[in-house]
Amino acid sequence: MIHALSLAAVLTAAVPALAVAQPAPATQGVISYPQAYFAEQRPSTALDMVQRLPGFSIDGGDDVRGFEGAAANVLIDGARPTSKTDDIEEILRRIPAAQVDHIELIRGGAPGIDMQGKSILANVVKVKGSGFQGLIALANNHVFDDGRNSSGVRLEASGQAGPGAWEGGLRYGQGIDDGAGPGRHVRIGPGGARLITSDIDSHGRAYQWVLTGAYETPLAGGTLKLNTRGFWNWYEFNQLDWIKFPSPALESVNYSEDEYETELGARYERALGARMNLELVGLQKLTGSDIVSPYRSTGFNGDFFLDQKTSESIGRGVLKYRQSDRLSFEVGAESALNVLESETDQLSNGVPDVLPAGDVKVTEKRGEVFGKSVWKPINTLTLEGGLRYEGSALTSEGDVSLEKTLYFLKPRVAGTWAPSDRTQVRFRYERMVGQLDFDDFVADSSPNSGGLAVGNPALTPEQAWVSELAFEKRFWTKGALVLTLRHSKLTDVIDRAPIFSGGLVFDAPSNIGDGTKDELILNATLPLDRVLKGAQLRGQSTWRRSAVTDPTTGDEREIYRLRPLEWEAHFTHDLPQYRMNWGFDVFSAWRQTSYKYNAIYTDKLKTWVMLFAEWKPKPDLTVRAELNNVTERGFRHTTTAYAGPRNTAAVAYVDDSDIQFGRGLYIRVRKTF
C-alpha cells in the first residue's frame, strides 16, 4: 500500500535562552556542540538540536534482522539505543533539550568509537542526574478539503529511582493518509481509444498507540539498561471508483490492517580495567499483522486475507580494547533466531485461488562473529578495518519445503584524511550482504498499486561490493558541504520475475543476476546571517542510476522501485527576541517503477511543502502551527498492462489514476513540568 501517514506527532518543550556559543574545535575528527550553541534556536528536544547540526542528516538505519546491521547514525551517551522497533527520531523527541549537555559530531571515525559502519555519527551526551521531568502535549490536524480531523496526545515522564533513572511514555495518534483522496481515472487502449473513464473517491486513516519504558541502574560494577515498547496500529483504506464510461458502474476496494509489535531489550556494560570494556545485549521482539482486503465490481468479487506472525530473539556480546589514543580493537559475536508464520488466502468469486507459498513457516538461525580496529598513524589520517563472518540456516515448512545454509565473509576498509579541521576526505570499500525480507517469502496483495505477488522462500541474499568517496568542507561558523559518490557492484539482485506453478504464471520476488547502482549525495548547510540574521538553509539531494537485466525481456533497465532522484530543503529563521522561529520544509517529487512479467507500474508523488511557526512564550510552554501540503500535491499511479509476457505480447491498455490531497492545518501545544 502507498500510505504516507500524517500522524499527529507531539514534540517536547523549550529551554531558557542561553548565551551564544561556538562549537569546540575538532579533536581527532570530533566536533563538540555545547547546549549554548543552539540557544538562538530555542530547541525543545534533542531532535531539534540534532537536526541543526551542520552537514548532518539522520539515518534511521536498516530494517534488518539481527542487531549488527540495524544501526542508526545517532548515539545516546556513546551507545546505540538497544531498541530496534523504536524509531531514532522518536527516541530523540523524548529527550528534552534541557537534558542535553552537548552533542558530538564524529566524522570519519576515531579510536575507541564504534562507527556502526557509518562515516559520520552524532553522539547526544545527556546531563547526569537530572531530576523529575514530565510532559503533556496535545495536537490536531485539520484537512480543509473534507473537514476531517486527526488528534494526538503525548504523555512522558522521567526521573530518578534510587541509584537508577527511569523514563516512560504513552502516545496516541490518529493519522490521515495523504496518499489517498479524490481524483480521476482513465484507461486507454493500444490505439488510443478510451476504454474507461471514472472518478475516484478514496480515504485512508490510522489509529495508533505506543507505550515505552526504560530503566538504567548500576549493577555489579557496570550499568544495566532495560527497555520495553508496545505498539498497536489500525489502518483502513477505502476506495470507490465511479465509472462513467462506457456505462455507469461502481468498483470498490477496501484494505484494513491490524498490526502490533512488542519488544523487550537489555544492555549491560562494564569496564574490565582501564582500557577494556564489555557490552552484552539481549532482545526479544514479537510482531503480528492481520490484513483483509475485499474487491467488488460488476461480474467479479475478490477477497484477500493475510495472517502473519514473526518473532526475533537476539543475543550479542562485544569486547572493546583501547590500546592508546591512536589504536583500538573490538571483537564480538551475535546470534539470532527468527521465525515467520504466514497464511495467505485469496478468493475469486468465492472460489479459492491457488497461491504458491500461501501457507508457510520459515525459521532462520543466524550467527555472526566480527572484529574491528581503528588506527591513527598520524594526526591527519585515520584508518579503519573490519571483518565479519556470517552464517545462517533457513528452513521452510508448509506449501514450500526447503532447507539451505548460507555463509558470507564481509570485509571492510575505510579511511579519513583531514588536512585541516575544516576539510576531510573519506573513503570506504566494503562487501555488504543484504538480508532476506521475510515478506518476500509469502503471498501479498497491494490493491491500489500492483495487485497480487506470490512468495518465494528460495531467495538468496543480495550482495554488493561498495566503493565510496566523500569530500567534506566546513566554512564560516555553521556552514558545511558534504559530497559523497558511491558505486555498488551487485550480485544476486532481488527484483521481480515470473515463476510457473501448476500451469499458471505468477509474479514473485526473485534473484535476477548482476547489476550496478551509482549514487551521488549532496548534503549542505548554508548560514544566511550575512543576508538575514538567524536564518539557515539546509538540504540534501540523492541522484541514483542503476542497471540490471530484465528477466522477462532481456533488456537493461533500472532496479525495481529505485527512485532516480530525491531531495529535500529546510529553511529556518530564528527570532529569539520574539521567542519564536518560522520556516518551511520542502520534499521533492519522486518516481519509482515496478516491473512484472506482464505489466509496468509507475508511481509518482509530487512535491510536498510545509510552512511552520513555533512560539515559546514561556520556557515550559510551546505552541506550533503548520500549514501542510501547501502545493496540494497528488499521487499518480500508471499501469501499462500487456496481453501476455512483455517480451512477446503487445500493450493491452494503459491505466492512469491521479489522486489529489488537500491542505491541512496542524496545531500542537506542549507543556512540561
CA atoms of 54 and 457, how far apart (whole Å):
44
Read off the pLDDT of residues 305-355 as tens digits, 9 standing for 90 and up. 999 999 999 999 999 999 998 999 999 999 999 999 989 888 999 999 877
Q: Report the candidate in 418, 341, 345 with the shortest Cα–Cα distance to residue 383.
A: 418
Contact 100, 35 (CB under 8 A): yes
Predicted local distance difference test score (pLDDT) of residue 22: 58
The residue assigned the cell 516491473 is 595
How many residues does this entry show for the chain? 673
pLDDT at 28: 59
Beta strands in 120-163 (DSSP E): 120-126, 133-143, 149-161
Task: Write out 350-364 in H/E/C secondary structure.
Answer: CEECCCCCCEEEEEE
Q: What is the pLDDT of residue 160?
A: 87
Q: How far is CA 146 from CA 142, 238, 419, 453, 508, in A?
A: 9, 15, 58, 34, 38
> What is the greatest pairwise CA distance in the chain?
81
Q: What is the value of pTM for the model shown?
A: 0.87
Residue 56 DSSP symbol: -
- Strand blocks (E) in 48-98: 74-76
Q: Where are the domains of the chain?
A: 24-672
Q: Looking at residue 16, what is its pLDDT?
A: 31
Characterize the bridge pairing of strands 300-324 and 327-348. antiparallel
CATH superfamily of 24-672: TonB-dependent receptor, beta-barrel domain (2.40.170.20)
CA distance 112 to 328: 5
Q: For 385, list phi and psi in degrees, rounded to 5.
A: -135, 145
Q: What is the pLDDT of residue 27?
A: 57
Q: What is the pLDDT of residues 153-205, one digit of tens each?
A: 999 998 888 888 899 999 999 999 988 889 999 999 988 999 999 999 999 99
CA dihedral 594, 596, 601, 607 (to 10 degrees): 0
Contact indicator for 427, 472 with CB cutoff of 8 Å: no
What pLDDT is recorded for position 64?
A: 56
Pairing of strands 479-491, 463-475: antiparallel
Listed as ranges, residues in the chain with pLDDT below 70 are: 1-28, 61-71, 116, 130, 442-454, 501-503
3-state helix, strand, coil split of the chain in percent (to 5) is 5, 65, 30
